[in-house]
Structure 1
Amino acid sequence: MTAETVAPPPRAGTKGTPPPRPLAVRIWRNYAFKRIRQAIFTIWFVATGTFFLARLMPGDPIDIMAGRLTESGMTHAQARGIAEAIVPYDPHASWYVQYLEFMTGVVTFNYGNMMTRPSTEVTDYIMQYLPWTLFSVGLGVLIAVFVGLGVGMIMAYRRNGTFDHIMTPIASFLAGVPNYLLAAAVVVIGSTWLGLFSFANMRGRLSPGVETGFNMVFIGDALYHAILPVFAYAVTITGGWMLTMKAATTEIMTEDYVMVARARGLKGWRIGSNYIGRNAILPLMPQIALALGTLIGGAVLVERILNYPGIGGMFLESINQRDYPVIQATTIILASTVVIANLICDLLASRLDPRIRLDDTEA
């Protein structure tokens, strides 16, 4: 019996075995690094577009302030002189100098001071409003996602049944109602006509005398004043999530691996959680970030109708006053919030389903 000669394994780089990629190439083609590059490019693109669009609007901060001063009886020359002395803005500065200063502030997270209030930092001013909008919008999205996904999955399991026939038209109706219209209807019907609650007491962010702090009094009062905007946000997007989850679940239920799981005798709850629910939710995760961004961008009307001082009303006022630093910083912060949320959703989805990373790398 002769001993067979065993050939040594081929070395890297020999014929039949591709050489290993350099470390820099592997990092560059890494899925997470690619998504981070895309996120940074998106934020830069939004920042640059905001810089130029703000300056393309008719009038600058000096013109707006001079126009208001002339209403008090000043001549245009007097108002213009006072406005130029107050507003820290040079209308004659070249655009590339302004852009360089602006991008330096973006990189260093220093947006400077307001033009309408030169002694107030832009970041401090925005943080007086942004947390309240994120609180109301975030809570509304969270409620809508949990309710919409849960009800949508039940609709798919009981499709063509009584529950499905009742909830489908309701979901379609809710998906088509604008949140600002629902907010106005709730105030008119609930407070004015039926007297179910006092809208006068629910206006604002906190009741008089309540101080900000991590305690039950503050949390309870903040929730009380945020009920109406949260309700408007949650209800109007719950319908869309119900229909989307119903469609995704119905499609997953027809897949072969679900049929195999049922043939193996697995329990219904295990099939629903491990095979159907997980795969139906994966494609919807990026839409959660998009819903958050859409609601924040559309919060202007809801906050104005409900008298809930948030980032929407503040942003509109800064546009009217042509306060460039506030406009730029607000847009960048809101865009970054959406982009980062979307990035997190993408990375989580890639961890739950490794096929996403493989498909992206091959592409």
Structure 2
Amino acid sequence: MTAPTAPPPRSDAAVGTPPPTARPSLLRRVWTSYAFRRICQSVFVVWLVATITFLLMHLMPGDPIEIMAGRLNSSGMSHDQAMATAANIISYDPNANVWVQYLEFMRGLVTFDLGNSLTNPSKTVFEHVMEYLPWTLFAVGAGVVLAVVIGLSVGMAMAYRRGSWFDHVMTSIGSFLTGVPNYILIAAVIVVGYTMLGVLPFLDMRGRITAGVEPGFNFVFFGDAVFHAILPIIAFAFTATGSFMLNMKAATTEVLTEDYVTVAQARGLKAGRISRSYVGRNAMLPIIPQIALQLGTLVGGSIVIEQILQYPGAGQMLMAAISNRDYPVVQAAVIILATSVVIASLIVDLFLVRVDPRIKSEGQDA
């Protein structure tokens, strides 16, 4: 009698077990990742802004040579001599082929070589823009931070006290701040504080820093810079504060009706922990993208605010460059401002994905 032999091992295919799937390659994972797609979208937006800016600048009537020649002619120089001098100073040919100019412009944009200012050839465009841009970013950034702190705190308090006199008063204030342009509000502050009451030193607050204060990493310079930027910061914070108040109230009110908040209350958790960990964190999710939108709105609106307050930032520089037909400076200013807003939006989106992974999965399903 022979001993029974063991049956041969069955393969996975025989028992119906699917073979293990191959892990996607690194290139495929990068290509399909949310971060890569958002970066590509941001690069496309910057290219589109650069192209539109280039076309708009070359469709504008007049050229910088004629403007500078007119100034030289008014000082007593003959027309032909003024045109020759202006062409020699500016070194710009408005009659050159547009495609050649566009390719040169894109090459300079990729290599971060945007040329020299036409009205100030001794400085590069980047140096010229960086003299003004940090002051605008400082005022706008401080205004947004102030608006976020005040708006989110007051908005959450409005939701917890909805229906009370505090809610009604703050809702009216938020609607007023959102509906009225910030330049009208800051103009009213100047009229009341400086003209009527005489308590606002508006004339001393104009400009970037006080004469004689040396820039540097010290409290004297920082305090003086903040003193001159108080009015722009308040102006930039006006509209954003009202918007954040109303949006945070609506988001918090919706979160307070969720089941997990009721369960947390039934478990006996402290009200402060529920407010921070359950309500505040989830209510802030729809507010985070609005921060980037507010940055874009405030940077774009800095032109009017800086003109009213005589604050020499990127807005004033852009207006002067447009009036002087300084094409390289205008193009660089618009592109740098747009890029800063695009980068801020990209950072906010990537941060929001880390906080709420559902956005990533929804984007992949789409």
Verify same fold: TM over 0.5: yes
Is residue 330 of structure 2 the alignment partner of residue 322 of structure 1?
A: no
Distance in 2 (alpha carbons) for counterparts of 1:5 and 1:224: 86
CA deviations 1:23-59 (Å, max 9, x no partner) are 3222111011111111111111111111111111111
For residues 307 and 12 of structure 2, what CA distance do their matches in structure 1 show? 72
Structure 2 Cα separation of the partners of residues 320 and 32 of structure 1: 40
Q: Name the aligned partner's letter for residue 94 of structure 2.
A: P
In structure 2, C-alpha distance between the alignment counterparts of 1:191 and 1:94, rounded to whole Å:
53
Q: 1:4 to 1:355 in 2, by over 3 A?
A: farther
Is 1:275 paired with 2:273? no
| Secondary structure of 2:319 counterpart | helix
Structure 1-normalised TM-score? 0.93
Determine whether 1:258 maps to 2:271.
no
Give the match's secondary structure for 2:215: coil
For residue 164 of structure 1, what is the amino acid of its counterpart?
D
Change (3 A) 1:255 1:7: farther
Matched with 1:357 is 360
Alignment partner, residue 205 of structure 2:
202
Work out whether 1:226 is the aligned partner of 2:229: yes
Is 1:212–2:240 an aligned residue pair?
A: no
Residues 76-124 of structure 1, C-alpha deviation per residue, up to 9 Å, x if partnerless?
Answer: 4443232222212111211111111111111111111111111111111
The one-letter code of the counterpart of 1:112 is G
Please say if residues 244 and 287 of structure 2, whose CA atoms lie closer than 8 Å, have aligned partners that are also in contact: no
**What is the 5 A alignment of 1:13-28?**
15=18, 19-28=22-31
Match of 1:32 among 14, 23, 35: 35
The alignment yields a C-alpha RMSD, in angstroms, of 2.2
Pair 1:148 & 2:167 matched: no
Instruction: State how far apart, in whole Å, the 2-side matches of 1:212 and 1:145 are.
Output: 29
Q: Output aligned runs, 1:59-138, within 5 Å.
A: 59-138=62-141
**Counterpart code for 1:25:** R
| CA distance, structure 2, for counterparts of residue 89 and residue 51 of structure 1 | 15
Matched, 1:48 2:51: yes
Letter in 1 for 2:113: N
SS at match of 1:283: coil
* Aligned-partner residue type, residue 39 of structure 2: I
| One-letter code aligned to 2:363 | D
Q: Structure 2: which amino acid aligns with 1:304?
A: Q
Q: 1:9 to 1:128 in 2, by over 3 A?
A: farther
Partner of 1:183 in structure 2? 186
1:251 CA displacement: 1.5
Q: Counterpart in 2 of 1:157? A: 160
> Does structure 1 residue 245 correspond to structure 2 residue 243?
no
User: Structure 2-normalised TM-score?
Assistant: 0.92
Deviations 1:309-338 (A, max 9, x none): 111000111011111111111111111111
**Equivalent in the alignment of 2:3:** none
Instruction: Specify which of 295, 307, 313 is matched with residue 304 of structure 1.
Output: 307
Question: Aligned in 2, Cα 1:88/1:268: closer, same or farther, shift over 3 Å?
Answer: same
d(CA) in 1 for partners of 2:251, 2:151:
12
Gaps of 5+ in 1: none
Counterparts of 2:99 and 2:19, CA distance in 1: 54
Of 273, 283, 291, the match for 1:288: 291
Q: Distance in 1 between matches of 2:319 and 2:362?
A: 42
Give 2:192's aligned amino acid: I
Instruction: Give 1:67 deviation, angstroms.
Output: 3.1
* Separation (CA, whole Å) in 2 of partners of 1:161 and 1:57: 55
Number of residue equivalences: 359
- Please report how far the alpha carbon of residue 260 of structure 1 lies from its aligned counterpart in structure 2 after TM superposition: 2.6
Identity, in percent, stands at: 58
- CA offset at residue 256 of structure 1? 2.5
Please list every run of 5 or more consecutive structure 2 residues that lacks an aligned counterpart in the other structure.
1-5
Alpha-carbon offset, residue 214 of structure 1: 0.7
Which of 70-79 and 350-359 deviates more? 70-79
Letter of the structure 1 residue corresponding to residue 287 of structure 2: L
- Give the letter for the 2:139 counterpart: S
Cα distance in structure 1, aligned partners of 2:320 and 2:342: 25
Displacement of 1:218 after TM fit? 0.6
Aligned-partner residue type, residue 225 of structure 1: H
- After TM superposition, the structure 1 stretch with the greater mean CA deviation from structure 2, 285-294 or 204-213, is 285-294
Helix, strand or coil for the counterpart of 1:282?
A: coil
Counterparts of 1:26 and 1:156 in 2: how far apart (Å)? Answer: 42
For 2:202 and 2:112, locate their aligned partners in 1 and report how far apart those are by CA, in whole Å: 39
Report the CA distance shift for 1:22/1:69 in structure 2 as closer, same or farther (over 3 A): same
